[in-house]
Amino acid sequence: MNLKQYTPALRKPIKASLKPAQEVAIVLLGGLLVAAGLNLFLIPHKLLSGGVAGIASIIGYMTGWNISLVYFLVNLPLIAWGWRAVGRRYIVLSCISVVSTTWFMSLIPQVQLTKDPILAAVFGGIISAGGIGFSLRVGGSTGGLDILGSILTRKYDWPMGNILFLLNGVVILALGFFQSWDLALYSMLSTFVKGKVVDMIHIGHIKVTCFIITKQKEQMLCGLRKLHHGITCIHSEGGYREEENCTLMTVTTRYELAAVRKAVAEADPNAFMNVVQSAEIYGRFARPPKV
């Protein structure tokens, strides 16, 4: 087999399954959820969501300035920095998210839906995390510290939720010093819940190993080489019929698993694939290039 004909495919990232209009719609939905979590649960109780929204909230609580406007202004330098560090497509989606969140925050009234600050912290965290997770899922973010978290996740494969929890903890400590430690602890609960929900939605850092047993080695390699992860070929033999097979092993992410499954089904409908979650990987792991 001539490997040269597959060289361009090896460098080509997986095509997005969503159209740009659908991605923008999901980002807008994410902005709506973040704004709803802030205005309906967190801000009425003087709680923080962490990150830039938390910084904007602290400034708004102390000065009386419009929190949505402060949120927009603080995000501008972070977005400019992320343009070069992460990629244009990511930042464009993040800009749409920041603008939409600012707009929705100006439209949604700050209404105290529950008088219990614990319920407000939990449900505010869940709703805000839904908005963050959906934006991350389509390749964007809600701006602010999410940009820094995405850079660290891409570089070190750390869980996004854990990174946001640590970064946001610094902001919440400031609330304890300037306002109230009770509010800071409630906000820490909200941030913890938000981090767990984000990790449930944003699964790009979770690695899985796929073992594919097939008799159609050439067709299977042709399909898998269109993806950007490496493949290892192992000659194997069936335990009952003692027929020769080929076992292919590739490591990918949970987010990209659907593309692998589709390539396997198209190459050999009779193939057997076993998917196991990888606790840790060491060495080079290819990621899609910045766009």
Are 181 and 134 spatial neighbours (Cβ–Cβ below 8 Å)? no
Contacts of 14 by beta carbon, 8 Å cutoff, 6+ apart: 227, 228, 256, 259, 288
Residues 6+ apart with CB under 8 A from 109: 39
Q: How far are the Cα atoms of 40, 209, 221, 283 from residue 232, in angstroms, in the given order?
A: 51, 11, 10, 14
272 SS3 class = strand
CB 37 within 8 A of CB 124: yes
* Closest to 104 in 3D by CA, of 30, 23, 51, 49: 30
Q: Which sign, positive or negative, has the C-alpha torsion 89, 224, 198, 206?
A: negative
| pLDDT attached to residue 7 | 42
Those residues with Cβ within 8 angstroms of residue 282's Cβ, 6 or more apart along the chain or in another chain: none
Question: What per-residue confidence (pLDDT) applies to 37?
Answer: 92
CA dist., res. 190 & res. 187, Å (int): 5
The rounded distance, in Å, linking the Cα atoms of 186 and 189 is 5
pLDDT value for 33: 93
Q: Report pLDDT for 204.
A: 56
Give 1-46 pLDDT, tens digit per residue.
444 444 444 343 334 445 788 888 988 999 999 999 989 998 898 8
pTM for the whole thing?
0.65
Give the model's pLDDT for residue 104. Answer: 93
pLDDT value at residue 202: 65
Per the CB < 8 A criterion, the answer to whether 201 and 133 are in contact is yes
> What tens digit of pLDDT does each residue of 240-277 get?
888 889 999 998 877 677 778 888 988 999 999 999 98
**Which pLDDT score, from 0 to 100, does residue 13 have?**
39
> Mean pLDDT for each consecutive 10-residue tract of the chain (291 residues)?
42 50 88 92 83 79 84 81 70 85 90 91 91 79 69 65 70 75 84 80 73 91 83 88 89 78 89 85 60 48
- The pLDDT, as a whole number, for residue 119 is 93
